[in-house]
Structure 1
Amino acid sequence: MHFWAFIGSLLLASGVAMGAYGAHGLRAIVDVPRSIEAFEYAVQYQLISALGFFAIAWATNHFKAGLVNLAGLLLLIGSIGFSLSIYLLVLAQWRPWPLVTPISGGFMIAAWIVMALACLTSKPKHSSFY
């Protein structure tokens, strides 16, 4: 089993489920257009991040594993914190830590900067890209 691909798969499955709920059940409990839009953004970012974990899984075999795994950890913290904080705000009107969402977004950005550094500073082990 590859851990990052496993995480990506779980986030894809739960993201599709949350998207389906957003499309079919959310409007029954939320009637504020801005909240519905925020929920849709949370789903979108979750799904995009989930696909990113497959890139990270691939990169662990091609670039410096330490940096790639750090990128994976940052992305995991960021994507869960970002989407979960919005889901909680929309579904439960609960926002215990207002800065979780923007800080989590910062973690996601940092993950891809670290990944860029891994790509830039690593001599590829083997690759089908070049």
Structure 2
Amino acid sequence: MKHFWSFIGALMLASGVALGAYGAHGLHNVVTVQRSIDAFEYAVLYQLISGLGFFAIAWGLNHFREGLVNLAGLCLLIGSLGFSVSLYLLVLIEWRPFPLITPISGGFMIAAWVIFALASLTSHPRRSIF
């Protein structure tokens, strides 16, 4: 499963860089409202941060309780995709089928890191530099 989370992290980072480039070079031709441009930039930022977070999840599998770390990874995946994709859809095609998806997804991201913190506190590390 460690390789899965690294794979997801790499995909999130690659697509985040691509979307960030689009935001910097092409978005202004499609969107003129500054608030929408800001929302797109936040979506990219959180996607990139989450992409790095998946590498922390992969690392945590070698050091902490696997079940909790995988649960944290699942929450991060649900949260980061829900958060960023909901904002991309809102900005690019003005589609928001479920208005609460963005804040609920943010809650999933927060839960992911709380679960990861619990995994670190309740585990006997197998190998750790900390």
Alignment of 1:42-81 (within 5 A): 42-81=43-82
TM-score (norm 1): 0.98
Number of aligned residue pairs: give it.
129
**Code of the aligned partner of 1:107:** F
TM-score when scaled to structure 2?
0.98
1:67-106 aligned within 5 A? 67-106=68-107
Shift of 1:128: 2.2
How far, CA to CA, are the matches of 2:118 and 2:128 in structure 1? 17
- What is the CA–CA distance in structure 2 between the aligned matches of 1:47 and 1:17, rounded to whole Å? 11
Partner of 1:126: 127
Alignment RMSD (CA, Å): 0.7
Give 5+ residue unaligned stretches, structure 1: none
Which sections of structure 2, spanning at least 5 residues, go unmatched?
Answer: none
- Aligned with 2:129: secondary structure? coil
Tell me the amino acid that sits aligned with residue 70 of structure 2: N
Partner of 1:9: 10
Runs of 4+ off more than 6 Å: none
